[in-house]
Amino acid sequence: MTEVLISGASVAGTTLAYWLCQHGFSATVVERHPGLRPGGQAIDVRGPALGVLERMGLLAAAAELKTGIRGSSVVDRDGNELSRDTESTPTGGLIDNPDIELLRDDLVELLYEATLPRTEYLFGDSIAELDNRGELVEVTFESGASRSFDLVIGADGLHSNVRRLVFGPEERFIKRLGTYAAIFTVPNVLNLDHWQMWHYGDTTMAGVYSARNNSEARAMLGFMDTDLRVDYRDTEAQIAEVERRMAGDGWIRPQLLEYMRAAPDFYFDEMSQIVMDHWSIGRVALVGDAGYCCSPLSGQGTSVALLGAYLLAGELKAATQGEWIDHGSAFINYFKRFHAYIERTQFLATDNIPGGAPISQEQFDAIVHSITLPDY
């Protein structure tokens, strides 16, 4: 049986594990976090990615987890409502459409459950070194353990460890979009009822929306800066940067900043894309944000991870004959099927940047639907 090691247990990693096991491979997932990494805002699954969930038998369960957001208000710095919208939200696009908007961590939990018990998980560990030159990939973990696998797949996100080890430094592939966001859980202090509230300050924006049937809320604090560099591993520096930027911009920012310090799931990053002209070297390949992050600004990050994992697993199956796998052909076919779609999708984010030419809903839908799910 072909043994595959996947680095990263989020959307791409769990979906890939599911489909690999479904196709008769063995999947082991190593995740740096001690468990599934919590956090993130509401994300959308849309277009053909809904078909991936459907083929996994998870569509109804995902629909049950929908945020049910009814609309959004924009308020002034004292909290007075300036406008309200019940047709679209600043983060989620049109409200009344077939997309499924759910919390990122709820989706990951759902996908993870679907991989059990067939997938082996190694939580709290990471790949320290790998040797990709032979018939097997020799992997040494940070824990000190060593194992060999037929294939290794990096599903470890924007700052992928596998990409760094095998393809080279992040700086070669990252395209920074100059927008930063911090996202974290807060109590539903504004008593929002399936509602989002946003304030645009002089240099920053702040938003709060109710989550999990109003029992909690998620806050998002954002700002633009094309020159800033903050170490993505240095949480203290990130918190200090957000505090410094937000302090004078009014509304309930001081309260949100207090919650931010205590939040169990603080997440901060720059909106960026990963642009590569190949996603595999030897027996190692990339999937999801690790290989082609489109950025949250595209509205497609999660859908693309679901699609990419489905296609990669499918191409590996298609390249298998008995005990023999032509992994090289599988990786090339995965790239050929998906790369043009990624290029179109990445364009969505750059056109959505404040100040950029706005993309119409029709253009957005056409790009989202411009791929068909093959049967494997």
Residues in contact with ligand FAD by CB under 6 A are 7-13, 30-33, 37, 39-41, 43, 104, 126, 155-158, 161, 183, 267, 288-290, 296, 301-302, 305
Instruction: Provide the minimum distance between the beta carbon of 207 and ligand FAD in the complex, in angstroms, as a whole number.
Output: 11
Q: 266 and 235 in contact (C-beta within 8 Å)? A: yes
Is the CB of 114 or the CB of 158 nearer to ligand FAD? 158
Instruction: Provide the minimum distance between the beta carbon of 326 and ligand FAD in the complex, in angstroms, as a whole number.
Output: 25
Is the CB of 86 or the CB of 143 nearer to ligand FAD? 143
Is the CB of 20 or the CB of 305 nearer to ligand FAD? 305
Residue least distant from ligand FAD (Cβ): 288
CA dist 228 and 249 (Å) reads 19
Is the CB of 126 or the CB of 214 nearer to ligand FAD? 126
Instruction: Provide the minimum distance between the beta carbon of 200 and ligand FAD in the complex, in angstroms, as a whole number.
Output: 19
In the chain, the amino acid numbered 328 is: G
The Cα-based distances of 30 to 14, 21, 144, 280 in angstroms read 11, 16, 13, 19
Instruction: Provide the minimum distance between the beta carbon of 248 and ligand FAD in the complex, in angstroms, as a whole number.
Output: 25
CA dist 253 and 149 (Å) reads 48
Is the CB of 13 or the CB of 314 nearer to ligand FAD? 13
CA dist 291 and 301 (Å) reads 12
Instruction: Provide the minimum distance between the beta carbon of 160 and ligand FAD in the complex, in angstroms, as a whole number.
Output: 7
CA dist 262 and 222 (Å) reads 18
Instruction: Provide the minimum distance between the beta carbon of 193 and ligand FAD in the complex, in angstroms, as a whole number.
Output: 22
Which DSSP state fits 150?
Answer: S
Nearest to 122 by CA among 34, 222, 236, 215: 34
Is the CB of 47 or the CB of 296 nearer to ligand FAD? 296
Q: 246 and 206 in contact (C-beta within 8 Å)? A: yes
CA dist 180 and 249 (Å) reads 16
